[in-house]
């Protein structure tokens, strides 16, 4: 079974530029999550989708971050414009259903904002 795919693996941009990350979850997984992991900290949920609807985006900085999951499969997370403090690893995860079941994580995208 293929795991969660993410691209790119690494990205370096200047502040005020825009960037987009892509995630393809495990086939059949209805729930998709985007987490931000700042160096030395645990992952923090940015947004959770159930199929193509948003379940929780309470910690998403909506003035600069946006995410979509068209057709309920793959998803894109965008930052525009980027700030220095956005430097982090962005993790995508999926699960068969929401709730306290196991989440499967992708390898992450390491973003550096200069």
Binding site for other proteins (CB under 8 A): 3-4, 33, 40-45, 48, 50, 55-56, 91, 93, 98-100, 102-108
Nearer to other proteins, 36 or 82 (CB): 36
Residue with tokens 């931000």: 36
Nearest distance from C-beta of residue 3 to other proteins, angstroms: 8
Length of the chain, please?
A: 114
Q: Which residues make beta-bridge pairs with 68?
A: 76
Nearest distance from C-beta of residue 102 to other proteins, angstroms: 5
């Amino acid at each position: 079974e293929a795991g969660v795919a993410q691209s790119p693996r690494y990205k370096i941009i200047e502040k005020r530029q825009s960037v987009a990350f892509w995630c393809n979850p495990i086939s059949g997984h209805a729930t998709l999550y985007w987490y931000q992991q700042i160096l030395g900290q645990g992952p923090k949920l940015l947004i959770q989708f159930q199929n193509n609807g948003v379940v929780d985006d309470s910690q998403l900085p909506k003035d600069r971050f946006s995410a979509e999951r068209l057709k309920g499969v793959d998803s894109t997370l965008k930052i525009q414009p980027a700030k220095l403090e956005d430097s982090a690893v962005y993790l995508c995860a999926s699960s068969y259903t929401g709730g306290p079941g196991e989440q499967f994580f992708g390898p992450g995208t390491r973003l550096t904002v200069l």
